[in-house]
Structure 1
Amino acid sequence: MSIESGLEKKFARLGKDLTVTDGTEIAGYASYFGDTDQSGDVVQKGAYAVSLKALAADGRQVKMLWQHDPAQPIGIWDEVCEDARGLYVKGRLLEAVGRGREAAALIAAGAIDGLSIGYRTVKAAKNEKGQRLLMELELWEVSLVTFPMLPSARVGAKGESLMRADLRELAATFAGARRELARM
């Protein structure tokens, strides 16, 4: 067993297990127990229990971020819990936040299809295959991301289509980014 410190990130690409409805409501799994990710880590059942209990006792919640950027919260996780399969999350993208609208558009278009957890390892061990078994994690945040690490599933966007104004705003954002890159 080892005790490690520092914020780590674990990516998951989720398909039928992540749904988006009404353009902003998200529900699915941010982590699966027993699945080996691309770095050889395996989250064990119960790994989040202590952290989730401590967050609830302190009246705090797991943050919903854009690409693990603490300066870019994009929504609220209304429910974060462990079940037999993994870490289940349910929440809302905030339409009043620009990145929240962009995230909804990118998910609907299939350009973003990943979730990722930001955490600190509290307790881990190596198994006979050299995999790191993550037994206790301090969960900080769950992000929508471009590049996931757990390839076992993909995001599926469902719900109402985006309004044309939202698409125009997104196109303008991309055009501005292209102009900025061209000046570099």
Structure 2
Amino acid sequence: MDLERKFAGGVPVLSNGSVIEGYASLFGLTDQGGDAVLPGAFAASLKRLGSVDRKVRMLWQHDPAQPIGVWDEIREDGKGLWVKGRLLTDVAQAREAAALIGAGAIDGLSIGYRTIRAERDQKGRRRLAEVELWEVSLVTFPMLPEAKLGSKAAEEMREMAAVFLAASEALRG
């Protein structure tokens, strides 16, 4: 697990956040709203964000009042939009998210964006050719069910949840 563990009074304290990664969007798959993201749709947005030193936010359930971490890497590859970041363990909702991920109760990722350019196919479905990416959220029910955290992240969260459980039990002692 990508964490530094310290001990305060015999109780483990986590710092430096907990690493998560996965695909926030997958190219060519139609989501539950009838939209599909085309390869290259994020490229201009990611380039613009990098040029003005702005960040894509990590939110809980698309709530702008609940940032829970930071995305350290965001890139397009042949499969979709891959993200890697850290839940910030100093944030209560991030600790709860880590416990939920660790228990297998949540694993969804979802993108928040503004459509710049889209096309319609013969069936009337939108094909997103360019989007302005604002945020990537951890969610219970992603619009694109295949957009999920990777299995490595889930295993790390299970380990982190076990540490939180041990700390909780030690406090109840």
In the superposition, the TM-score normalised over structure 1's length comes to 0.75
Bigger mean CA deviation after superposition, 154-163 or 31-40: 154-163
1:116 paired with 2:113, answer no
1:47 paired with 2:41, answer yes
Identity of matched residues, %: 62
Distance 1:130 1:55, change over 3 A: same
Partner secondary structure for residue 158 of structure 1: helix
Aligned-pair CA distance for 1:89: 0.3
User: What is the rounded CA distance, in whole Å, between the counterparts of 1:32 and 1:81 in structure 2?
Assistant: 12
Distance 1:55 1:153, change over 3 A: closer
The match for 1:143 among 134, 137, 144 is 137
The match for 1:61 among 39, 46, 55 is 55
Aligned-pair CA distance for 1:46: 0.3
User: What is the rounded CA distance, in whole Å, between the counterparts of 1:125 and 1:27 in structure 2?
Assistant: 30
Instruction: Report if the CA contact (8 A) 1:105-1:166 is conserved.
Output: no
1:90 paired with 2:84, answer yes
* Corresponding residue of 1:75: 69
Number of equivalent positions: 149
User: What is the rounded CA distance, in whole Å, between the counterparts of 1:61 and 1:154 in structure 2?
Assistant: 21
Aligned-pair CA distance for 1:166: 6.3
The match for 2:120 among 123, 126, 144 is 126
User: What is the rounded CA distance, in whole Å, between the counterparts of 1:154 and 1:24 in structure 2?
Assistant: 16
Aligned-pair CA distance for 1:165: 5.6
User: What is the rounded CA distance, in whole Å, between the counterparts of 2:117 and 2:97 in structure 1?
Assistant: 33
Instruction: Report if the CA contact (8 A) 2:70-2:86 is conserved.
Output: yes
Instruction: Report if the CA contact (8 A) 2:23-2:148 is conserved.
Output: no
RMSD, aligned CA:
1.9
Letter of the 1:121 partner, please give it. Answer: T
User: What is the rounded CA distance, in whole Å, between the counterparts of 1:73 and 1:161 in structure 2?
Assistant: 20
Instruction: Report if the CA contact (8 A) 1:105-1:167 is conserved.
Output: no
Letter of the 2:98 partner, please give it. Answer: A
In the superposition, the TM-score normalised over structure 2's length comes to 0.80
Kindly provide the CA deviation profile for residues 43-88 of structure 1, in whole angstroms up to 9, marking residues without a partner as x. Answer: 0000001100000000011000011111111001000111111101
Letter of the 2:155 partner, please give it. Answer: K
Letter of the 1:147 partner, please give it. Answer: F
Instruction: Report if the CA contact (8 A) 1:21-1:158 is conserved.
Output: no
Partner secondary structure for residue 45 of structure 1: coil
User: What is the rounded CA distance, in whole Å, between the counterparts of 1:67 and 1:125 in structure 2?
Assistant: 28
Question: What are structure 1's unaligned runs of at least 5 residues?
Answer: 1-19, 169-184
